[in-house]
Structure 1
Amino acid sequence: MVKCCSAIGCASRCLPNSKLKGLTFHVFPTDENIKKKWVLAMKRLDVNAAGIWEPKKGDVLCSRHFKKTDFDRSTPNIKLKPGVIPSIFESPYQFQEHSYSVMDSPKKLKHKLDHVISELEDTKESLQNVLDREKHFQKSLRKTIRELKEECLISEDTARRLDVFCWECCQESTE
């Protein structure tokens, strides 16, 4: 089973090529005081227990949540220095901006709905203007084709092809 970083918003996975990319994964400390500091630094809540999240035996944090100075690189296997606390995390407040994390009041929802409806009406009006301009352009183009044919500047066959092409293009854009 692939291990995933336990930090909120982190998509790091422990894959065979992770080490080659400089990404390492670290189990939570067995020392309860340091483990508690790790968990508090993460600011991760357990929604089901309505409290602070508790790591399980196999849970890990990736190296992205530690400073470069937190690592002991004197051995071939990169390790964390004793007593180090992770300190690099996305702000948990950014996740509260999404509609799925905080329910808005009915008044605020109504305001948002009114805004969306207004934008939709503006978009419909804009689309209708584009379609009207396209019809006008199509009529103008057909008139130009007819005039070119009447003045013998294009052949009957070319005029027919252009007219068909013009009609097909306008049909495709309205579908």
Structure 2
Amino acid sequence: MPDFCAAYGCSNRRSLKTRARGITFHLTLLCSEHFRSEDFDRTGQNVRLKEGVVPNIFNFPAHLQRLVATGNTTTSRRAEDNLPMDLSQDVPKPDVGATGDRSLSLKWQATDHLYALPACPKAIKAKLEESSAQLRKLQREKSNALRRENRAKMNMQALLEELKEKNLINKELKDNLECYSDLPVHLLSRQGVEYTKAQRDFALTLHLHGPKAYHYLRDTLHIHLPHPSSLQRYSSLALQTIFS
């Protein structure tokens, strides 16, 4: 049994004084002052909590109290009438079997009220560290999801749409470049890898008809397009092939 009550603002401790006042302490880490009189089983030698009872007597300050909205509409009254009188009916109870295994029942009661503060500062610190680790994990997952989303958006079709929205290419040029919309943009960032014919043709067409768009992709978005000097070399080779 606990030696003090873990409820907010409660200073009751196990002592002769509290015993004289009839205050009892229970495995829920709370004292008897947070339960109703009908919540107790006083038939045995010791005062015990009945199964499934919920503490509902607390002395929270105003800023921690939850406001409950009230309404007089027909819908709200009907919903209110349909609520069970005893909310503990919705709480699943363990099956203690025909032998009435009371130790299992008490264990369930001890873990039921998770809002009670841990019994020692070390437990509070451990709970805080656990919550912080969970928060860091969620932040990493969010960051990874954003990176995956950005990679999904970074395709040639999305680049062409962005160039059109920024008026860096006209509709005619955009339509002419549509045939390259399936080019994997991430391959363009692999420095030292020889460009494919489709990549060279895309870069030549864009640089010839939309030089501002070409430099925007290369200098601002850092898409690894061929250098203008390389484009001149590609053009020279193409002309030599035509006239040879």
TM interval, shorter chain, is 0.3 to 0.5
TM-score (norm 1): 0.34
Structure having the larger proportion of residues in strand: 1
Higher relative contact order (CA 8 A, sep 6+): 1
Q: Which has the larger radius of gyration?
A: 2
